[in-house]
Amino acid sequence: MSTRTARAIERAVRVASLSLMLMVPVFITGVAQATTAEEDMVWTGGLRNAYFEDRKILADDLITLEAPQRAENAAIVPISIKAGIPQTEQRYIRTIWLFVDKNPGPLVGTFRFTPESGRADLGLRLRVDAYSPVRAIAETNDGELHMSRQFVKASGGCSAPPSSDADAARKNFGKMKFLLRNEGGAENATAVEQRTLAQLMIRHPNRSGLQMDQVTHLYAPPDFVEQVKVRFEGKEIFSAETSFAISENPSFRFYFAPQYEGELTAEVTDTEGRHFSETYRVRPGTDGAAASD
């Protein structure tokens, strides 16, 4: 994390605690309002300004964030973001920021889309460290910001031990897989309608740096995927800069709209500087899966 971001977060937290005191009258006026205001303390108290300054953020249905109200497993909280508009050259969502306000680092990731994405939907799994709002902010190509938010009850997701089979995890480190599913409608469907759902999966422990080893009594050092780039025939369709808040074995679901046969390529970089890549031949209108060896 850069010192600039660190300072911004520090400032955010400081402002947030101040605003808690200022919010006392709100508690008296209405319980329901007070709850939301309390929940949004970190956001309104500085996080918002740290990232978006005084830009206007619309709370409408351009995007809809879906998350469980209470997560079954705080280290794997499934999140899906649905776009209310198709991606066209004229109007499209170019960036989605995802935040968990009360995580040790609130920004989960920055996700970029293009008109070639077809639809700027996004599905992923993340770690939630404390009861917190999870919020997505979308920026359209004309610079408008739109927000969708949901409060999620989960805690301890950042320090939770890795799940299940440790040997399988080690053996498969860096393995990648695409799952593709054609969702094209009628025969005369337009290119945008003729879209394909892609799920990119990466075998990676995505260690948060907050998980403790009982023998050494040290925190296992952070080691997580920080960059993902997906291209179709060299053209970028989806990319992401991500933090430790992404769950073990990162999985990203997104759309693209292949109009001709071509190569789908994913490139992944982690915090240790490792590179992983995977290429898959795609024919429009077909399903498929591909895995690296």
Using CB under 8 A as the criterion, which residues of the chain lie in contact with another protein when the complex forms?
Answer: 66-68, 70-74, 76, 78-80, 123, 125, 128, 131, 153-157, 159-168, 172, 175, 177, 179, 181, 183, 197, 199, 201, 203, 211-217, 249, 251, 253, 289, 291
- Quote the least distance from Cβ 127 to another protein, whole Å: 11
* Long-range pairs of 138-142 with CB within 8 A, sequence gap ≥ 24: 138/62, 138/63, 138/81, 138/83, 138/93, 138/95, 138/96, 139/93, 139/94, 139/95, 139/96, 139/97, 140/62, 140/91, 140/92, 140/93, 140/94, 141/91, 141/92, 141/93, 141/94, 142/91
CB of 166 to another protein, least distance (A): 6
Contact 141, 91 (CB under 8 A): yes
Q: How far is the CB of 160 from another protein (least distance, A)?
A: 7
- For another protein, the closer of residues 46 and 258 by Cβ is 258
Is 208 within 8 Å of 158 (Cβ atoms)? yes
Q: Give whichever of 123 and 174 is closer to another protein, judged by the CB atom.
A: 123
Nearer to another protein, 44 or 159 (CB): 159
Residue (of 156, 58, 150) closest to 103 by Cα position? 156
Q: For another protein, which is the closer residue by CB, 36 or 159?
A: 159
CB of 33: closest distance to another protein in angstroms?
23
- Min separation Cβ 93 and another protein, Å: 19
Q: Which is nearer to another protein, 51 or 238 (CB)?
A: 238
Rounded least distance, CB 130 to another protein, Å: 8
The string over 242-270, giving b where at least 16 C-beta atoms fall within 10 Å of a residue's C-beta and e elsewhere, is: bbbbbbbbbbbbbbbbbeeebebbbbbbb
Q: Please say whether the beta carbons of 87 and 115 come within 8 A.
A: yes
Which CB sits closer to another protein, 170 or 235? 170
